[in-house]
Amino acid sequence: MNGYGIKETGEFYPVRLQFDGHRLCGSGRFSNVYNGQMIAPIRREVAVKNVWSDSKEFANVATITDQAEIQILAKLFHPAISNLLFFYGRKANDKIIHCLVLDYLPQEMAKLRDQGFKFDTLDAKIYTFQLFCAIAHLAAKNIVHMDVKPQNVIMNQNSGLLKLADFGNARRLESHEKTGSSYQVTRFYRPPELLFGCERFSSAIDTWSATGKDTKDQIVLITGVFGYPTDEDIKSIGVRRPRVTRKEARGIETFTSKMLDADVYDLLKSTLKLDPKKRKSAAEVLKMSVFDAIRAVPRKRRSNGAELPTLANYTEMHPKRELMNEETKEFEEKKVEKKKEQEKKKEKQSSSSNSEEEEVKQNE
């Protein structure tokens, strides 16, 4: 099928795509996700996200790239993100389906959590580091994911790799302008500034995580942990005072295991602040001592005996868009060789044809 790839410049180019089978691995209200094997123009296991469109116009590069998620992902490329590799459009039941070919990892953090799986301290730090790398990359591009939660985090337990996925709610931030309704982010992970009604967003949204059953309950839980927002907090966030009972702050320690290391508490305290301006940025979090174990030499081994994944280039905020792996390089080299052979054959045929014409002219 015909599709499009993305150049380093962010421009799109036409490309022929070929897949070998697929299976449904996730479904939602507006999209389905399939896992399959791509065999051209590169060889790798991929996820294909099918997004339903209201448009009935036949899919071409203009109509497909109007899709918001494609516009956002075209600006991003990072090893801790489920990157957009290619995209194409197809028609089904008189509607256009936007198909996004993305990086794939086999497990979803939410499903592991629901199965009762627990990570040891080192693995928890490895995965947390990668998640903050992804958020830091987004912040460097002036983009907010707006839906960071376990359901949107994919991983591979064997290799220890993690990627932030599903950019359907992501948006590009414009400097300090009003960015819309505060009813954003899945409720259980919604930061206090949105719960309090703030409509000016920042990348600090992506560093927050909490739990609750509804918006009011969420506010009660947050104020129960951190206390009622101060005058300074209210002024900084730019909202009215929340209508909840004023309680004395009980602190994060009340709700977490006493076995947690001090540097883990430092991470929680620096990111879970009522005032988004006082939260550490993702880039600042990556420099914290909590991740020293990942940077240690000699490198530690994980509980499954595997080496730590190589994360040296993860803190690079603007890595180059690179799709090639060894198998793909060999595949591409063969394509180039085949093209050269075809050109030589064409030249030979052309030369032979010219010789015959010369011979005919001489005989005349």
Active site residues: 147
Measured CA to CA in angstroms, residue 127 lies from 146, 243, 315 at distances of 19, 37, 14
| CA 363 to mean position of chain CA atoms | 71
DSSP per-residue letters across 47-64: EEEEEE-S--SPP-HHHH
Note whether 239 and 231 are within 8 A (CB): no
* Backbone angles phi and psi of 156, in degrees to 5: -130, 105
CA distances (Å), origin 113, targets 49, 104, 116, 150, 213: 23, 19, 5, 8, 18
- Is 342 exposed, middle or buried (CB count within 10 Å of its CB: 0-12, 13-18, 19+)? exposed
State the residue for tokens 């009935």.
Answer: 56
Q: How far apart are CA 358 and CA 352, in angstroms?
A: 10
Angular region, 62: left φ>0, alpha ψ -120 to 50, beta rest: alpha
Question: Can you read off the two tokens belonging to residue 256?
Answer: 């977490």
Residues in the chain, total = 364
Tokens representing residue 143 in the block: 């983009």
Q: Is 218 strand, coil or helix?
A: helix
Strand order in the sheet with 18-27: 12-16, 2-6, 84-92, 95-103, 44-52, 31-40, 18-27
Task: Quote the CA–CA distance of 99 and 40 in Å, as a whole number.
Answer: 16
